Amino acid sequence: MMFAFTEPAHAEKVIHGTAFDLESNKVAYIEIHRFPSDTRHKVIYAEPSGDVFARKELDYSSGKSTPGFTQTNMRLDEVIEVSHLSDGAISVRYAIEGKSAKEKTLKNADELVIDAGFNNYVLEHWDKLLEGSSLEFDYLLPTRQQRFRLKAERDDCKDEAATCFTIRPANGFFALLMKPLKLKYVDGLLAQFSGRSNIAQESGEYHQVRIEYVPLEIAMECADSEACVLTHARDSVSFQDGGGKSTVLARY
């Protein structure tokens, strides 16, 4: 994701994401998105307890839908690095503790949608998607170091105030095997993501989650402390539990 904010001097704008397991509906993890500049995006991933287990840094200098990034997942000592080269190619490096690192160069990658860049791809093609167009694009699978053809299209939305889209494999065979990604936008901002997460569990399997996003303001004195940011964010976020009661996330 990428959001544009004008920050007041006393607060930092962040996005808080709560990832719920699609089967159990329990909190699988928490993610905090921070935006130091128009082209930089940092993500902290934490267990429901608040313990940080992964970090990601994205650089959108090459384009809003084609960021380079580095992701470190301490759950399984995994590092993913995607960087842009001067000739329009990208370098993809995947390393996991105890195994040989894999590195590959993909050419003609100028229009390859990368990681959280899918959100900006949707926003950039918003009008066409609203008109009913079905748009295909290549998405990077960094762990496999290859492109994968996806298709985005508008979807029905139960919430009348929201706009929904579906992203699924463009190939009909793969579409039968893989669950689609579901996106819900409110006022032009991504409010909910449902589908395969981009962060792995200890087993190496990827979460199937529903992520609820909430924009927050964090006191500037927290800027240099991940623990402070997490505490303030967790104390500020609430959601409706199964009984319709508001539940503070920090109670998990």
pLDDT, tens digit, for every residue of 171-214?
A: 875 665 678 999 999 999 999 999 999 999 999 899 999 999 99
Model confidence, pTM: 0.86
Region 68-80: mean pLDDT is 96
Q: How confident is the model at residue 247, as a pLDDT?
A: 36
User: Which two tokens mark 24?
Assistant: 């159990």
Q: How confident is the model at residue 49, as a pLDDT?
A: 87
Q: Quickly state the pLDDT bin for 114 (edges 50, 70, 90).
A: very high
Instruction: Identify the DSSP state of 85.
Output: -
Q: How confident is the model at residue 177, as a pLDDT?
A: 60
Q: How confident is the model at residue 238, as a pLDDT?
A: 56
- Whether the pLDDT of residue 3 is over 60: the answer is no
* Pairing state between β 27-34 and 11-21: antiparallel
- Can you tell me the distance from the alpha carbon of 32 to that of 211, in angstroms, rounded to the nearest whole number? 12
Mean pLDDT of the chain: 86
Q: How confident is the model at residue 10, as a pLDDT?
A: 63
- List, for residues 13-28, the tens digit of each pLDDT value: 889 999 999 999 999 9
Task: Give the residue with greater pLDDT, 37 vs 11.
Answer: 37
Q: Are 20 and 209 in contact (CB under 8 A)?
A: yes
Give Cβ neighbours of residue 150 (< 8 Å, ≥ 6 apart).
113, 136, 137, 138, 139, 167, 168, 169, 170
Weakest-pLDDT range from 103-112, 125-134, 147-156 = 103-112
Q: Quickly state the pLDDT bin for 81 (edges 50, 70, 90).
A: very high
